[in-house]
Structure 1
């Protein structure tokens, strides 16, 4: 860790410590300065008071991720503050915290809805679709017609014959989806949590079982960024897609599909208007 980064880390820790109310944590006594004392933060974080003091003084060296997590809890840091602390201390963001979600903020939904002719969805690391726009409903899948527990992309792909029939090259799509799903759940630390879903799909689909056993991993760039569908009304559809993380929720991913031709965009708009 550079001298400047160590100093910045110490300054940030000190600023977060002094904003806390000691009484809220059961600490009492007269104080010359506001906030918690260094030894009180160390006590809450279950680390050495000397080590914590050195960190604030910019001479403690690079702390471990475990120590930083304890300090985050001790100082009651927000997600943004936690990320900043890790960037100062280790030069990298912390591991993503996965949180169960059954929807998105109104602001994000308005963004999805503003993409009138571009299908767009928001999915969790376990590939459950939790938000979508009208274009996604008419071009991809009518997610709103399904119970929340059945809005999983892998379930669609391997267990829904209509969704399978729409894929231009189902074998390639299936291989990519399984590999990308594997990478996402590992990145989010959810390998154990998806065990039941994987077991269900393996029993229901020998093809999924074989792909899962192959242990391949993929990212979105490897697919070429193009999705081809056979739509019952629109016919052959080519969509260029991009994947984004959601600000403030890095465990969620937004995928936007853009028609490659303006004529197709116009037809999607007409289909939405007449739906």
Structure 2
């Protein structure tokens, strides 16, 4: 009679077999198989050897997220491997762990730069703009001229008079930004990280305080943005947001000219 398949056990066995015992200070003599032993993984994860053995054998019930996180650290799993571990063990990914970031890869920057007349930015889950192209600097905001802490979409919307004046319907745009920002921060597990920003904007903007207190949440989604550029005049932009491969903490937002006249105005600005 064949055994019931145990994908979780197979994954754990495969990952511990890839680790070098000597790298962790474990003796290497008299080993019949490569990698760490079960009790060594249990020791690194600070859990019971019996419980870990049962986990590989498909016994003992579902492990807690804390146990899975300990095992992930003990096995030196990557973020992708950790997520796969949770999917195998619990059927859902782990809770989001926010990671602050202030740079992007050269490859991603080259992608931005290739979008010559489409303003494009990369923002974090807390809506800090960490990369942009020349079109974005010309049409939206010259992020490079701002101190790093001011390159935040929410702060710009409520604390930058030029950005506010550029919006066709500031109140509607601001409400959307607040609701989408709240959803993104919560989804990324960054609620604690945005407390200082929320407190700052609450102190300087009664409008922000009222919108934040409303507790609305929205997906960013695709849409159309209309800005009044001080030089080029009105520009309509169709925007879409894309996840950055391998970086769930980052989003690429592309603003494509809605019509030929909008593209012509952007080209004139860039010229």
Is 1:23 paired with 2:31? no
Offset of 1:204 from its aligned partner? Answer: 0.8
Is 1:239 paired with 2:240? no
CA distance in 2, matches of 1:61, 1:118: 52
| TM value normalised by structure 2 | 0.93
1:1-275 equivalence runs, <5 A: 4=5, 7-28=6-27, 29-221=29-221, 225-272=223-270, 274=271
Task: Classify the secondary structure of the residue corresponding to 1:194.
Answer: helix
Residues 225-268 of structure 1: CA deviation (Å, up to 9, x unaligned): 11111112222221111111211210111111111113322331
Offset of 1:121 from its aligned partner? Answer: 0.5
Offset of 1:214 from its aligned partner? Answer: 1.2
Residues 85-104 of structure 1: CA deviation (Å, up to 9, x unaligned): 22222222223332221210
CA distance in 2, matches of 1:115, 1:149: 26
Change (3 A) 1:261 1:33: same
Offset of 1:70 from its aligned partner? Answer: 1.1
Offset of 1:13 from its aligned partner? Answer: 0.8
Offset of 1:149 from its aligned partner? Answer: 1.5
Offset of 1:43 from its aligned partner? Answer: 1.6
Offset of 1:171 from its aligned partner? Answer: 0.6
Aligned residues: 267
Q: Decide whether the 8 Å contact of 2:8 with 2:89 is kept in 1.
A: yes
Task: Classify the secondary structure of the residue corresponding to 1:103.
Answer: coil
Residues 44-76 of structure 1: CA deviation (Å, up to 9, x unaligned): 112222222222223444333222111110100
Q: Decide whether the 8 Å contact of 1:102 with 1:130 is kept in 2.
A: yes
Q: Decide whether the 8 Å contact of 2:235 with 2:265 is kept in 1.
A: no
Residues 114-163 of structure 1: CA deviation (Å, up to 9, x unaligned): 11111111111211111001111111000011111111111111111111
Q: Decide whether the 8 Å contact of 2:97 with 2:190 is kept in 1.
A: no
- The RMSD of aligned alpha carbons is 1.6
Structure 2 alignment gaps of length 5 or more: none
Task: Classify the secondary structure of the residue corresponding to 1:34.
Answer: coil
